[in-house]
Copies of this chain bind each other. A is one copy, B any other.
């Protein structure tokens, strides 16, 4: 087809396709923008007032408590949960935003742990990445159970477990 003029019918097809692509692309972008908004609200609720807590382990415990108790702003509790399943079906833009959000959350926890290690509040051999993964996984799974059962049992069980874990395996033992 190189160099040959495109017949009218083909031109129509091209312009229809371009219209569809434009529409699809804006739908993808809209979903991504909606996700970003929801995530900002959610994340701000989770880190609410954490700056006022100086000890790193106490800060992590409050982060967990905020997750469990401050779910009011966004229906369903966590935009990541919806997006992880939706974005699986091919919305690349949305999936990338959700990954970025997840990594940002992970980095936040890692930075609290690193600060805690320097301040000798957190055991020096703690794997910050692993702790972040554990906290995020168990909270996200608990919110899934909360959505299915519509009661807070899983959230409270995970909170108690994480509190105990942070006290016994992350905090520097008191002398």
Residues of A within 8 A of B (CB): 76, 80-88, 95, 98-99, 102, 130, 133-134, 136-142, 144-145, 147-149, 153-154, 157-158, 160-161
Query: With A82-B85, A85-B85 known to touch, is A133 a contact of B147 (CB < 8 Å)?
Result: no
Q: A80-B144, A102-B145, A140-B144 are in contact. List 13 more A-B contacts (CB 8 A).
A: A80-B148, A85-B85, A85-B86, A88-B147, A130-B157, A130-B161, A133-B142, A133-B154, A134-B161, A137-B142, A137-B157, A141-B141, A141-B144
Nearest B-chain residue to A147, judged by Cβ: B84
Across the interface, do B145 and A133 meet the contact criterion of CB distance under 8 Å? yes
Nearest B-chain residue to A138, judged by Cβ: B138
The 8 Å CB contact of A142, one of B83, B141, B145, is: B141
CA distance A61 to B85 in the complex (A): 27
CA distance A149 to B138 in the complex (A): 16
The 8 Å CB contact of A148, one of B102, B139, B154, is: B102
The 8 Å CB contact of A141, one of B86, B98, B138, is: B138
